Amino acid sequence: MDLPTTRKECPGVLMANELIVIAALANCGQDAPTDDFLKMLIRETPDLAVSRFPPKSGTIWAALDWQGILGTAADILAFAGLLWAAYERYVKPRLERGGPSSPSLFVQLRRRDGASVQFAIGKDDCKDKEIFIEQFTREVTELRAGPDTGGGARPLSNLSESENSVRIRVRDREESE
């Protein structure tokens, strides 16, 4: 994998409107282009910090082998559009081929207190671009604006302090301008 990585100190406090993001190319097979998907997210989303759990010898990781923190400056509408573009690029062709599995792009966003929203792009209730983008934008905006009770761990600092994860360098707003 040629994603740039670095072990940096990360902020230990997750602000109430920063969101934890996990996503997976669900039921897309072992050849699912997860690395390409992550590169696309990193390249196109300023203010997204991603940590990846690299495979270790003898260790089996779940399909959700990365976790991101979507910062306060991230544009939710643009992120929704990016997720739809990823669905069209990586999942829709597999859906059109048919088969026994039902491929989708699974996305969950949550606050550190556990409140969350999730979407399965490509499933029956999430197959129309305009409806998905409107629903995603509304629900994620509400989640971001809601009170974070502060419960739960500090996921970004836990990830950065863990030897099992590697922080993937991301483009921030200053680099993109």
pLDDT digits (tens, 9 = 90+) for 39-79: 899 899 888 888 876 655 554 444 556 888 888 888 999 99
Would you state the structure tokens that stand for residue 146, as one six-digit string? 């809601």
pLDDT, residue 11, reads 41
- Cα separation, 140 vs 75, in Å, equals 11
Q: Cα angle at 70 between 163 and 109, to 5 degrees? A: 90
User: Residue 166 is inside which H or E element, if any?
Assistant: strand 166-168
Bridge partners, 50 (sequence order): 68, 168
Q: What is the DSSP string of 59-74?
A: ----S--EEEEE-TT-
pLDDT, residue 167, reads 52
Bridge partners, 66 (sequence order): 52
Q: Cα angle at 120 between 32 and 2, to 5 degrees? A: 30
11, 60, 94, 115, 120 from 152: Cα distances, Å: 16, 26, 37, 11, 25
Would you state the structure tokens that stand for residue 66, as one six-digit string? 């990365």
* Helix (H/G/I), strand (E/B), else coil: 19: strand
Question: What average pLDDT does the chain have?
Answer: 75
Is residue 133 over pLDDT 80? yes
- Cα separation, 93 vs 46, in Å, equals 27
- Cα separation, 48 vs 168, in Å, equals 10
pLDDT in tens, 77-104: 999 999 999 999 999 998 888 766 789 9
Cβ proximity of 51 and 165 under 8 Å:
yes
Would you state the structure tokens that stand for residue 120, as one six-digit string? 């399965």
pLDDT, residue 119, reads 95
pLDDT, residue 55, reads 58
Q: Are strands 19-26 and 104-110 parallel, antiparallel or unpaired?
A: antiparallel
Its pTM stands at: 0.74
Q: Which amino acid is at 61?
A: W
